[in-house]
Amino acid sequence: MFASIKKAIKDMLTENDNSTYCLARVAAALAIIAFMAGTAYDMSIHHSFMYTNFANGIMQILGGGGAMIGMKQFTSGTKQ
Tens digit of each residue's pLDDT (9 = 90 or more) over 60-74: 999 998 898 888 877
Q: Taking all residues of the chain, what is their mean pLDDT, rounded to a whole number?
A: 88
Q: Range of 29's domain?
A: 23-80
* pLDDT tens digits for range 3-62: 999 999 999 899 888 889 988 899 999 999 999 999 999 999 988 888 899 999 999 999
Query: Is residue 18 in a domain?
Result: no
Task: Examine residue 9 and state whether it is found in any structural domain, yes or no.
Answer: no
Q: Flag whether 66 is in a domain.
A: yes
Q: Is residue 58 one of the residues assigned to a domain?
A: yes
* Per-residue confidence (pLDDT) for residue 54, from 0 to 100: 92
CA separation for the pair 4, 10 (Å, rounded): 10
Is 10 a member of any domain? no
**Rounded distance, CA 64 to CA 56, Å?**
12
Domain count, the chain: 1
Q: Which of 73, 66, 1 is nearest to 28 (CA)?
A: 66
pTM, rounded to two decimals: 0.78
Residue 13 lies in a domain: no
pLDDT > 90: percent of the chain: 50
Do 65 and 31 contact (CB within 8 A), yes or no? yes
- The answer as to whether 45 is a domain residue is yes
Q: How many CB atoms lie within 10 A of CB 50?
A: 13
Q: Considering the domain boundaries, does residue 1 fall inside one?
A: no
